[in-house]
């Protein structure tokens, strides 16, 4: 099982890709930059004549690199949509529809739905968080603090409230 996980290119858990590396005692944790991420795409409104592997490769190639289709699509047992696994760049834009010309020159409009999309940080270029939640320091200067300014801590001095006269009964 261990070797199967290490050599698998499309290891998925809950329809999300999982990166697996071999660990040995004394080895260091190395974070690899991911050039491509596998994601499942549902192609709706797709005529049955386009369900062949060659056509699916061309159509899904407009989103990313075709990897494979699921068994229901391959066997044509669930005809509501074709489900295709494609490799995409984590920071690319994802199309919600695809248009192409069929063999008769007619425009075919296909709806694309994604089981999961990678979250990509535009600040550190990492995955799994957005720039607003990024914990890595940026090299951009803080516009609120001028260059060379020094922060000084001072105690807060609050004005004293006037003393109240004792209540008489």
Query: pLDDT tens-digit profile of 95-111?
Result: 899 999 988 999 999 99
Three-class DSSP category at 56: helix
Average pLDDT over residues 29-40: 78
Sign of the C-alpha dihedral computed for residues 106, 109, 110 and 114 taken in this order: positive
Q: According to the model, what pLDDT value does residue 122 have?
A: 80
Is the model's pLDDT at 7 over the cut of 50? no
| pLDDT, tens digit (0-9, with 9 covering 90-100), for 65-100 | 999 999 999 999 988 999 999 999 888 888 899 999
3-state secondary structure string, 125-146? CCECCCHHHCCCCCCCCCCCCC
Integer Cα distance of 88 and 36 in angstroms: 5
pTM (predicted TM-score): 0.64
Question: What separation in angstroms does the CA of 101 have from each of 45, 47, 58, 75, 109?
Answer: 14, 13, 12, 25, 9
What pLDDT band is residue 54 in, cutting at 50, 70 and 90?
very high
Q: Which residue has the higher pLDDT, 86 or 26?
A: 86
Integer Cα distance of 153 and 122 in angstroms: 34
Is the model's pLDDT at 167 over the cut of 90? no
Domain ranges of the chain: 2-22+31-133
Is the model's pLDDT at 139 over the cut of 80? no
């Amino acid at each position: 099982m261990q070797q199967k996980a290490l050599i698998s290119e499309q290891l998925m858990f809950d329809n999300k890709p999982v990166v697996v590396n071999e660990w040995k005692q004394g080895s260091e944790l190395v974070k690899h930059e991911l050039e491509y991420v596998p994601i499942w795409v549902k192609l709706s409104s797709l005529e049955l004549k386009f369900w062949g592997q060659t056509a699916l490769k061309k159509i899904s190639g407009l989103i990313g690199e075709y990897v494979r289709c699921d068994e229901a699509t391959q066997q044509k047992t669930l005809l509501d949509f074709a489900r295709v696994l494609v490799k995409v760049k984590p920071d690319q834009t994802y199309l919600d529809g695809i248009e192409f010309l069929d063999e008769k020159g007619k425009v075919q409009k296909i709806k694309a739905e994604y089981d999961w999309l990678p979250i990509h940080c535009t600040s550190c270029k990492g995955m799994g968080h957005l720039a607003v939640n990024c914990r890595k320091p940026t090299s951009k200067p803080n516009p609120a603090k001028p260059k060379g300014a020094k922060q000084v801590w001072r105690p807060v001095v609050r004005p004293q409230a006037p003393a109240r006269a004792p209540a008489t009964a």
